[in-house]
Amino acid sequence: MARYILQRLGYMVLTLFLIATFSFFLMKMLPGSPLSAEQKVSEAQREIILDKYGLNDPVPVQYVRYIGNLMQGDLGVSFQLKNQPVTDILLSRIPISAQLGLYALLIGTVLGMLLGLIAAIRNNSWVDYSANIISVIGISIPSFIFAGLMQYYVGVKLGLLPIAFWGTWQQAIMPTIALAIFPMAIGARFMRTEMIEVLGSDFIVTARAKGLNNTGILFKHGLRNALIPLVTVMGPMAVSLMTGTLVIEQIFSIPGIGEQFVQSVMRDDFSIIMGTTLFFAFFFVLIILIVDILYGIIDPRIRLAGGKD
């Protein structure tokens, strides 16, 4: 197991390096420069500024310099937020996105699993149908619609919750619900399908025949097996939730990373784009690793590396 993880970590570094290289050259192919008054600054002035920041050097030279700095953990400074270190910007914004994403993921998954579980147990009853309707709605209506409606009715009309901003737990409620609806719906659908299948399989029948009680069968044998596909979808979903969701952050004016990222792309703010991309990539690779490890814990048949370690 330890060797496997070590090996995976090695691949992870390689993956990150490739991503860094790939995005670096892609970025350099974008038109424009990170200057903010590009329309007005004359070409001669622009050259002076680009020279100062080494942006007129040949791309391979810039690449070597960037990777060199990266090795030392230096992500450079932002153009858009003049001179602000990229590391500091990421450190101030990522925790906020991650916190929001984590709340949404936990609440969404737990509620989704419960919903799916009930639907599976009460297969083809009104409970099942309503759970189904809820998840279809959750999947098909985009989160910003929920966010906008909630903000207007709960925030403005009823005055129950703060309309925007971040800092208190009250301010976290609406964005969390808006974000949690999608994972909840997905979770419910996967859980229901898997659970119905698992509950119909031979080993459950055996368990019943052995006289185990319903709760025991459900949780000890059913749930565990039904979790596998859920873990597969939840991994990538965790990444997309925790790396900042542009729309929700924008609607609730949450100072997260999603919004900053989009802004940086529009403004050609090279160092922030690279820093954020690398962080996202790192996070994604890490989650995939965690998912793989989780498989083994949930289902002993899928022991990693052939189960020899």
| C-alpha dihedral, 163 to 166 to 172 to 176, nearest 10° | 90
3-state helix, strand, coil in the chain (%, to 5): 75, 0, 25
Distance from C-alpha of 125 to C-alpha of 120, rounded to nearest angstrom: 10
Show Cβ contacts of residue 109 under 8 Å, excluding neighbours closer than 6 positions. 183, 184, 187, 230, 234
91 or 136: CB nearest other proteins: 91
Q: Is 36 a residue that touches other proteins (CB under 8 A)?
A: yes
Reading the block at residue 76, the tokens are 């450079």
Under rule CB under 8 A, residue 43 binds other proteins: yes
Is residue 173 close enough to count as binding other proteins by CB under 8 A?
yes
**Contact (Cβ atoms closer than 8 angstroms) between residue 261 and residue 276:** yes
Decide if residue 193 touches other proteins (CB under 8 A). Answer: no
Q: Of residues 2, 6, 52, 308, which one binds other proteins by CB under 8 A?
A: 52
What is the closest distance, in whole angstroms, from the C-beta atom of residue 136 to other proteins in the complex? 18
DSSP state, 223?
A: I
The per-type count for the chain, helices as H runs and strands as E runs, is 13, 0
Q: Minimal distance in Å, beta carbon 52 to other proteins?
A: 4
**Piece of the chain touching other proteins by CB under 8 A; list 6-14, 76-84, 237-245, 284-292:** 76-84
Judged by beta carbon, residue 17 or residue 166, the one nearer other proteins is: 166
Shortest Å distance, C-beta 214 to other proteins: 6
Tell me the window of 18-26, 82-90, 182-190, 220-228 that interacts with other proteins (CB under 8 A): 82-90
Asked whether position 150 contacts other proteins by CB under 8 A, the answer is no
**Of these, 7, 21, 69, 170, which contacts other proteins (CB under 8 A)?**
170
Find the part of the chain contacting other proteins (CB under 8 A) among 20-28, 159-167, 220-228, 295-303. Answer: 159-167
Cα–Cα distances (Å) from 245 to 22, 104, 121, 171, in that order, read 24, 11, 34, 16
Rule CB under 8 A: choose which of 159, 211, 300, 306 binds other proteins. 159
Neighbouring C-alpha atoms within 13 Å toward the C-beta of 305: 12
Cβ at position 202, least distance to other proteins in Å: 21
- Say how many Å lie between the first and final Cα of the chain, rounded: 6
Name residue 83's amino acid: N
Of 5 and 164, the one with the shorter C-beta distance to other proteins is 164
**Residue 32 binds other proteins (CB under 8 A):** yes
Instruction: Return the C-alpha torsion angle 78, 242, 7, 1, nearest 10.
Output: 150
Which residues make up the interface to other proteins (CB under 8 A)?
Answer: 30-32, 35-45, 48-49, 52-53, 80-85, 88-89, 91-93, 111, 114, 117-118, 121-122, 127, 148, 151-152, 154-156, 159-171, 173, 177, 213-215, 250-253, 255, 259, 263, 266, 268
